[in-house]
């Protein structure tokens, strides 16, 4: 039978714990110093604080170092707590981060910016280029801009900025576009005679509008339409806008998700001055990269470029062409592909493309995410 520890034994054990705690405190300080460096990198690169896949990898890898199977789940909880504290500290450091976007408060670009960078300062610009230039000049840390809508297709102006500008895409977020019918308090659907919104939002809710016999009025932005309804305080006018707009402007949602197409999604990208190189312990299915390039105007040039990408086992998710503004009837090409371009295989592919393409730009590499 094992002897019960006496008071002297307890004191000695507590002394050992205190010594271990001192060592852990010193290691904690070192870890948080590194976290500070990481927060600075994330700020410069336009990256979110949290990366759930990466965090799961860290927990798994560190837990496996504990040989005592009984202790493994407790150590996993310990590591999760350390990660949470680290991310909380990084969030506090990134509160000074300045994020540019095009639109206004409550617009979908604003919603995307908040989801990417919950602790940042958000500043609206009247155009994509103004937001982009504000980052390129160094005045802002990153810009959140739409690059594609599943309903309307690519955002041409942003595509052109990707080709001609110097900023890098380090993060992409898919945001479901859900339109609600918003009105002032006390209004009912039967009261509504006119709906106001952006032309694209009106088109995306065309069947709903037609079914209710509403008149329409266009507005430059869905969020500004919601603000207009609030200012008019007229129960016969409603806005088609987001749930966030309803909350911001104090409106009531008379009906939700009135889109004709429930799969309407916009992809937003974070643009920054620093190029990120995603690294992962395990292969991740959502690793992607973006290339923009031009080829010589000769037979088979584009096919040769595409064959190089395929030969290195990268799967192209999309291929688009856009006219070059300064050269009539000349085009550049935009490709999104799956895989990690920062591997040796990826570097070899880029070298081969560089030898073939008149211009080649790695516009970004990132882990895609859903809102």
In the chain, pLDDT over 90 holds for what percent of residues? Answer: 48
Same domain? For 290 and 335 the reply is yes
| Residue given tokens 């429930």 in the structure block | 262
Domain membership flag for residue 267? no
Q: Are 142 and 100 in contact (CB under 8 A)?
A: yes
Q: Provide DSSP, 175-187.
A: EE---EEEE-TT-
Q: Which CATH number goes with the domain that contains 85? A: 1.20.59.10
Domain boundary among 123, 140, 173: 173
Which of 109, 111, 115, 113 is closest to 99 using CA atoms?
113
Whole-number pLDDT of residue 231? 95
Residue 89 three-state SS: helix
pLDDT > 60? residue 279: no
Beta bridge partners of 122: 99
Share of the chain above pLDDT 70, in %: 94
Whether the pLDDT of residue 278 is over 70: the answer is no
260 within a domain of the structure (yes/no):
no
Which tokens hold the place of 355?
């030898």
Do 114 and 167 fall within a single domain?
Answer: yes
pLDDT attached to residue 58: 87
pLDDT at 280 over 60: no
Domain at 123, CATH number: 3.40.190.10
Six-digit token string for 118: 């919950």
Of 173, 189, 223, the one marking the end of a domain is 173
Number of independent structural domains in the chain: 4
For residue 233, being part of any structural domain is answered with yes
pLDDT digits (tens, 9 = 90+) for 52-63: 778 888 888 888
Please give the pLDDT value at position 282.
45
Tell which residue, 173, 174, 214, 136, has the closest CA to residue 47.
173
pLDDT band at 93 (very low <50, low <70, confident <90, very high): confident
Confidence of residue 112 (pLDDT cuts 50, 70, 90): very high
What's the whole-number mean pLDDT along residues 126-150?
92
Q: Are residues 141 and 212 in the same domain?
A: no
Q: How far is CA 151 from the centre of its chain?
A: 19
Q: What is the pLDDT of residues 184-235, one digit of tens each?
A: 999 999 999 999 998 889 988 999 999 999 999 998 889 999 999 999 999 9
Would you say 118 and 371 are in contact if contact means Cβ atoms under 8 Å apart? no
Mean pLDDT for the stretch of residues 4-9:
68
- Answer whether residue 91 shows pLDDT above 90: no
Whether 258 and 240 have beta carbons less than 8 Å apart is answered as yes
Is 245 among the domain residues? yes
Average of pLDDT values for 290-297?
91
| Single residue among 50, 73, 94 that ends a domain in this structure | 94
pLDDT of residue 1: 47
User: Which residue range(s) make up the domain with 193?
Assistant: 180-255
- When pLDDT is averaged across residues 33-53 and rounded to a whole number, the result is 79
SS3 57: helix
Same domain, 328 and 371: yes
205 to 65, 179, 198, 242: CA distances (angstroms): 55, 8, 11, 13
The distance from CA 166 to its chain's CA centroid, rounded to whole angstroms, is: 19
CA distance 94 to 81: 20
Cα gap 96→120, rounded to integer Å: 6
User: Is residue 293 assigned to a domain?
Assistant: yes
110 shares a domain with 80: no
Please check whether residues 81 and 143 belong to one and the same domain: no
Cα(268)–Cα(3) distance, rounded to whole angstroms? 65
* Lowest model confidence (mean pLDDT) among 87-96, 125-134, 222-231, 308-317: 87-96
Residues 291 and 317 in one domain: yes
Report the alpha-carbon distance of residue 91 to residue 357 in Å, rounded: 41
Identify whether residues 151 and 215 lie together within a single domain: no
Indicate if 57 and 24 belong to the same structural domain.
yes
- Residues in a beta bridge with 44: none
More confident residue, 204 or 254: 254
Same domain, 285 and 367: yes
My answer on whether 194 and 281 are in the same domain is no
As a whole number, mean pLDDT of residues 162-189 equals 93
Give the pLDDT band (50/70/90) at residue 4: low
Q: Is residue 272 part of a domain?
A: no
| 361, 350 contact by CB (below 8 A) | no
CATH code for the domain of 308: 3.30.70.260
For residue 38, tell me if it sits in a domain.
yes
Mean pLDDT across the chain: 88
In a domain, 271, yes or no: no
Q: What is the pLDDT of residue 262?
A: 79
Over range 27-48, report the average pLDDT. 81
Report, as an integer, the average pLDDT of 153-163. Answer: 92
Polymer length of the chain: 371
Examine the domain organization and report whether 105 and 84 are in the same domain: no
Compute the distance between CA of residue 130 and CA of residue 136 in angstroms, rounded to an integer: 10
Q: Are strands 98-102 and 142-149 parallel, antiparallel or unpaired?
A: parallel
């Amino acid at each position: 039978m094992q002897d019960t520890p006496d008071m002297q034994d307890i004191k000695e054990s507590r002394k050992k714990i205190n010594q271990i705690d001192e060592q852990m405190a010193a290691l904690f300080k070192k870890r948080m110093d590194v976290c500070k460096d990481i927060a600075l990198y994330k700020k410069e690169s336009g990256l979110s604080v949290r990366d759930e896949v990466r965090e799961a990898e860290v927990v798994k890898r560190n837990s496996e170092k504990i040989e005592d199977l009984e202790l493994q789940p407790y150590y996993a909880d310990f590591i999760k707590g350390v990660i949470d504290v680290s991310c909380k500290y990084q969030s506090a450091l990134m509160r000074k981060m300045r994020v540019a976007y095009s639109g206004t408060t409550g617009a979908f670009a604003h919603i995307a910016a908040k989801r990417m960078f919950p602790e940042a300062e958000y500043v609206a610009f009247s155009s994509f280029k103004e937001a982009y230039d504000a980052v390129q000049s160094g005045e802002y840390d990153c810009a959140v801009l739409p690059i594609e809508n599943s309903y309307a297709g690519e955002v041409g102006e942003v595509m052109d900025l990707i080709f001609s500008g110097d900023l890098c895409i380090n993060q992409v977020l898919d945001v479901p576009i859900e339109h609600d019918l918003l009105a002032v308090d006390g209004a009912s659907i039967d009261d509504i005679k006119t709906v106001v919104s952006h032309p694209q939002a009106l088109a995306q809710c065309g069947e709903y509008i037609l079914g209710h016999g509403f008149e329409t009025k266009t507005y430059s932005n869905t969020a500004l339409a919601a603000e207009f309804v609030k200012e008019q305080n007229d129960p016969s006018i409603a806005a088609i806008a987001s749930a966030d707009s309803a909350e911001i402007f104090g409106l009531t949602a008379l009906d939700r998700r009135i889109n004709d197409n429930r799969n309407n999604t916009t992809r937003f990208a974070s643009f920054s001055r620093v190029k990120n190189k995603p690294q992962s312990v395990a292969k991740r299915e959502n690793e992607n990269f973006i290339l923009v390039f031009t080829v010589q105007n000769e037979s088979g040039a584009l096919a040769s470029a595409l064959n190089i990408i395929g030969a290195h086992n990268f799967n192209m998710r999309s291929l688009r062409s856009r006219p070059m503004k300064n050269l009539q009837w000349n085009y550049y090409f935009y490709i999104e592909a799956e895989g990690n371009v920062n591997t040796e295989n990826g570097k070899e592919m880029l070298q081969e493309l560089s030898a073939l393409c008149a211009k080649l730009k790695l516009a970004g590499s990132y882990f895609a995410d859903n809102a």
